[in-house]
């Protein structure tokens, strides 16, 4: 594609670069992601992306921030008013679905080096944590929200990567979903203090 360095209005270049980066991810994974490749895909000069991204890590951070925001929205839509452990399990299934449906983006979000000081990425990642915390507090208002949120996220995140890496063996999507639900319910049932956590409401 021929560079069109004069065709962008203020703000369009960054969005175009991010769209190009997402396209490259979907086609070839994270290995294909570079500022030069993004420039070629966006149809701009090789130096144009540097107006918004200092280096590859800055670009990856911006892409990851988009992914975190999309993940938070995806989890919130999975169950609008969770009140029971089964609702939390449904949110867990949605988390794994997100990873399976967007594997390259998911790996960029959680496995690629990025800029740890990027405010946009930090805020977007915090939104995911807040979403998990809200679900846990709504379902188990008497539990330690930070400890239980960490346990649930750690379990579900591990299951997501097991699926992506081909280590999560299940006979079809429905069986895989059932394993995720079962693992979450087992975690909650194994909590200290009796037969399990008691959901209120």
Q: pLDDT grade, residue 195 (50/70/90)?
A: very low
Parent domain of 26: 1-53
**Same-domain check for residues 120 and 102:** yes
Both tokens of 58, joined, read 């800055």
Give the pLDDT of residue 120. Answer: 92
Answer for the pair 23, 37: CB distance below 8 angstroms, yes or no: no
Q: Specify if 131 maps to a domain.
A: yes
Check the CA dihedral 116-136-93-181 and report its sign: positive
Q: What is the CATH number of the domain that holds 171?
A: 1.10.357.10
Report the number of distinct structural domains present in the chain.
Answer: 2
- Say whether both 90 and 118 belong to one domain: yes
Report if residue 82 sits inside a domain: yes
Domain stop point among 53, 68, 96: 53
The pLDDT tens digits of the residues spanning 135-179 come to 999 999 999 999 999 999 999 999 999 999 988 877 788 999 999
Q: Name the pTM for this structure.
A: 0.85
Whether 200 maps to a domain, the answer reads no
In a domain, 158, yes or no: yes
Looking at the fold, whether 111 and 184 belong to one and the same domain comes out as yes
Q: Tell me what pLDDT residue 112 has.
A: 83
What is the rounded CA–CA span in Å between residue 110 and residue 107? 5
For residue 89, which of 135, 145, 36 has the smallest C-alpha distance?
A: 135
Q: For 70-114, what is each residue's pLDDT tens digit? A: 999 999 999 889 999 999 999 999 999 999 999 999 999 998 877
User: pLDDT band for position 190 (50/70/90)?
Assistant: very low
- CATH code of the domain covering residue 14: 1.10.10.60
Q: Which of 37-41, 54-58, 98-102 has the lowest mean pLDDT?
A: 54-58
User: Residue 32, Cβ neighbours under 10 Å: how many?
Assistant: 16
In a domain, 87, yes or no: yes
| 199: pLDDT strictly greater than 60 | no
H-assigned helices in 84-144: 85-101, 103-111, 119-139
């Amino acid at each position: 594609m021929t560079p069109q360095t004069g065709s962008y209005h203020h703000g369009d270049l960054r969005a175009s670069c991010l769209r190009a980066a997402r396209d490259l991810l979907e086609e070839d994974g994270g290995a294909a992601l570079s500022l030069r490749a993004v420039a070629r895909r966006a149809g701009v000069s090789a130096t144009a992306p540097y107006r918004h991204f200092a280096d590859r890590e800055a670009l990856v951070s911006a892409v990851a921030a988009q992914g975190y925001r999309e993940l938070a929205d995806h989890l919130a839509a999975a169950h609008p008013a969770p009140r029971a452990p089964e609702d939390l399990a449904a949110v867990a299934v949605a988390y794994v679905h997100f990873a399976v449906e967007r594997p390259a983006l998911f790996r960029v979000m959680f496995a690629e080096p990025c800029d740890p000081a990027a405010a946009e990425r930090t805020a977007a990642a915090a939104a995911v944590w807040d979403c998990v915390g809200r679900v846990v507090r709504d379902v188990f208002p008497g539990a330690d929200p930070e400890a239980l949120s960490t346990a649930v996220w750690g379990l579900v995140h591990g299951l997501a990567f097991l699926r992506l890496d081909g280590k999560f063996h299940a006979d079809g999507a429905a069986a895989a979903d059932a394993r995720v639900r079962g693992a979450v319910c087992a975690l909650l049932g194994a909590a200290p203090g009796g037969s399990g956590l008691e959901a209120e409401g």
